[in-house]
Every structure is written in C-alpha cells, then in structure tokens.
Amino acid sequence: MQILLMGSAGLLGSTLSPFLSSRGCDVKTHSRSDGAQCLADLSDPRAANELLGKIQPDVIINLVGLTDVDLCEVQPNQAYLQNVRSVENITNWIKQEKISCHLVHISTDQVYDGANTHTEELVTLTNCYAFSKYAGEMAAASVPSTILRTNFFGRSHCAKRLSLTDWLFRSLSNKDSIQVFDDVLFSPLAMSTLSEMIELSIRNKPIGVFNLGSHDGMSKADFAFAFADELNLSTREMKRATTDQVAFIKTYRPKDMRMNSVKFENALGVKLPTLRDEIKRVAKEYHEVA
Ligand SMILES: NC(=O)c1ccc[n+]([C@@H]2O[C@H](COP(=O)([O-])OP(=O)(O)OC[C@H]3O[C@@H](n4cnc5c(N)ncnc54)[C@H](OP(=O)(O)O)[C@@H]3O)[C@@H](O)[C@H]2O)c1
C-alpha cells in the first residue's frame, strides 16, 4: 500500500510521518517548501496532477491547510486555496484517473460551537477558517474518504511550529505571566494517539465524517492547570480569564468545540481515552526536558 502524506512537514505531519514509518508503512512525504520527499503547491492543479500521477498512491492522507485563524479571516481567498481548492485538486485527480485511492482528510473541531458535546451533524460555522475547512470536507466527500474532525496537542517535532503544550511548557518553565481561558472548551487528542487512530483509519477505510477526540473534554484553563500539575510546574504566574477580558484575540473563536466521538469508536472498534489520560501521556513527552 503506497501512502502519500500531504503536508507532512507541518505540526501533525512531523509526528505522523515517523510514526507510520515505524509501523512499516510505505510512506512518501509531501510538502510545499522543504523537509519532504516531494514538493508541490497543492493549490495548483497542474502541480497536484503531476505529483499524484508520479506517485499513484493507494491512500492519500491530507494534512495540508492554512491553520492560522486570523490569516484565514483577513485573506479568505488564501483560506479557500489551501483548505478547499487543494482538496478539490486531489479529488479531481482521483475522479479523472478512475482509480481506487482512499482519501483520509484531516478537518477540525472548529466547525462546532454552542454548549454541547457535538455529534457530527451539529455544525456551527463562526469564522473563515471553519467555513473553509467545512468546504474542504465537502470536496473530500466527493470521493471514497474518511474525514476526521480533530484537535491535538503534544511535543512538537516540527522546527517551525509550537504546539499548545509546547507554549504552556515554555511559559510555565520560564515563569512567564500568561492567561488561560475558562470559557473555551475542547476535547483534543495527543498527537501520538491521533497518529495511531489515523493508521487504523488507513487500514480500515471507514467512509464518512467522524469526530476524533478524547472523552470528558474540559476548558483550556483546566487543561493548562492539569498539564502543569502533571509536570509539577508552578502555576503562580498563570491566571484564569475569559476571552472577553483580553484584547489580543482578533478573530472570533468557538467557545465549545467538544466532540462526541462514538461514531468513530463504533466504526473502528476502539475506545478513545479521556482528556485527563491524554494529558498524562503527553506530560511524559516533556519529562525528559523538564
Ligand atoms: N494545529 C492544530 O491545532 C489543528 C487542530 C485541528 C485540526 N487541524 C488540522 O490538521 C491538519 C494539520 O495541521 P498542522 O497544524 O499540522 O498544519 P501545519 O503545521 O500548518 O502544516 C501544514 C502543512 O501543509 C503544507 N501546505 C500548506 N499549504 C500548502 C499548499 N498549498 N501546497 C502544499 N502544501 C501546503 C505546509 O507546507 P509548508 O510548511 O511548506 O507551508 C505544511 O507542511 C490541518 O488540516 C488542520 O486544519 C490542526
């Protein structure tokens, strides 16, 4: 099975790529600039066709995206090119080649908002990033695909991207004064767990849209204090706040992105961990640098 990992040089790809190789998968890595075996701008149909024609993948894992929420808001066409047209270029190639190629497409929990543990149909779109990711899902759904709505944390292996826990670890270690939000709820997975679930998805190829998060989501503030507690880091400089008390947030972000991932669990026959267990798992990744 030839796997093409698109967007492999980013935050998630830098964990997923070595994980899949360690599991014996035959992976070709792709990015736009550097740090991958194949380079191509996926928003350009000619470059996308050339790359896909050369590799002839059996499975495509698509991590390509514009994840900067503020940039998506001020440059909606960039959001379209990276989060939608890039997916259209993949699916157009699959359709025109009439080959059997399964797409695993990574989407986001930002397509949810409003107090709930959301099942897949409870979509609420509140910013350009969410809109463009949702449109990308629609393009992905036009071919046999597994669309995974997720969020993740863990120690970054990507030189140009810090994860949420990298930022927390650095701020707490340096005793920087930071604010963490009581009014933003989420249910992310450790990147290591997410990598295992993506591997399961490429082997089982379930068709449809699936939430892929942890059980018992919590606020970002509770998450930050639980992470500090696991690593015995002082929380004296970390203050709880709500998003309306700070000036630095430019673009509206959803307040409640918690996901109900039972559909994924039932389709794949797995039990996903609690967020508390995921925090414990990820804290171990930082023990060696603590
Ligand atoms: N980060 C999060 O917290 C988060 C949460 C939920 C869901 N997600 C989703 O998870 C996926 C992976 O996120 P990530 O944080 O790993 O993203 P990332 O760090 O921004 O990496 C994105 C990758 O896509 C490549 N790329 C972007 N535009 C491209 C284009 N036009 N052509 C070819 N390659 C292009 C980038 O290449 P260059 O490095 O060369 O630019 C990079 O390798 C995304 O779909 C995102 O929406 C992310």
> What are the pLDDT digits (tens) for 49-72?
999 999 999 999 999 999 999 999
* Gap between the terminal Cα atoms of the chain: 40
CA of 32 from ligand 1 middle (Å) equals 10
What is the count of structural domains for the chain?
Answer: 1
Is residue 84, in this structure, part of any structural domain at all? yes
Is residue 201, in this structure, part of any structural domain at all? yes
**DSSP output for 53-102:** HHH--SEEEE------HHHHHH-HHHHHIIIIIHHHHHHHHHHHHT---E
- pLDDT above 80 for 95: yes
Residue nearest to atom 12 of ligand 1 (CA): 63
Is residue 103, in this structure, part of any structural domain at all? yes
Residue nearest to atom 23 of ligand 1 (CA): 7
Name the residue of 4, 14, 31 to mutate for ligand 1: max ligand atoms within 8 A of Cβ: 31
| Tens of pLDDT, residues 121-171 | 999 999 999 999 999 999 999 999 999 999 999 999 999 999 999 999 999
For residues 247-264, one letter each, b for 16 or more C-beta atoms within 10 angstroms of the residue's C-beta and e for the rest, the string is eeeeeebbbbbbbbbebb
Q: How many residues does the chain have?
A: 290
Closest atom of ligand 1 to CA, residue 14: 16
CA of 234 from ligand 1 middle (Å) equals 32
Provide the residue range defining the domain that includes 53. 2-161+189-215+256-274
Residue 275 zone, left/alpha/beta (φ > 0; ψ -120 to 50; rest): alpha
Is residue 60, in this structure, part of any structural domain at all? yes
Is residue 151, in this structure, part of any structural domain at all? yes
Please state the pTM of the whole predicted model. 0.97
CATH no. for residue 25? Answer: 3.40.50.720
CA of 43 from ligand 1 middle (Å) equals 13
Residues with CB under 6 A from ligand 1: 7, 9-13, 31-33, 41-43, 63-65, 67, 82, 86, 106, 108, 133, 150-152, 161
Is residue 14, in this structure, part of any structural domain at all? yes
Is residue 168, in this structure, part of any structural domain at all? no
Name the residue of 5, 6, 8, 11 to mutate for ligand 1: max ligand atoms within 8 A of Cβ: 11
- pLDDT above 90 for 290: no
Q: Tokens 């969020």 map to which residue?
A: 151
